[in-house]
Amino acid sequence: MNAVKIDVVIPENRELRVSLPPEVVPGPAEIIVLSERRAQPPRGSWDRIRQCLERTPPARPGKSKEEIDRYLAEERASWDQDE
């Protein structure tokens, strides 16, 4: 695949008209847009995210390191018993 870099300014209507150099052959192609800046999230979106997190129940506490080590030791011991 051949890459062609063309610097453009994206207008408010976000429509581009691009003229390609002669070395670009006609046929299927893929256009990738790399933008300098990222659009700001819509106003109030952080408030909606915060509200969603507040409605989410807290996570259950996990197992301690000792409980996990004990479980793994028991599991490994059972492997020897199956033989």
For the chain, give the secondary structure using H, E and C: CCCCCCCCCCCCCCCCCCCCCCCCCCCCCCCCCCCCCCCCCCCCHHHHHHHHHHHCCCCCCCCCHHHHHHHHHHHHHHHHHCC
Gap between the Cα atoms of 72 and 1, Å rounded: 50
Decide: 48 and 56 in contact? Cβ < 8 Å. no
- Global confidence as pTM: 0.38
The pLDDT value recorded for residue 69 is 92
> Rounded CA gap, 38 and 62, in Å?
37
**Residues 30-39 pLDDT 10s:** 888 888 777 7
Residue ranges of the chain with per-residue pLDDT less than 70 = 41-42, 81-83
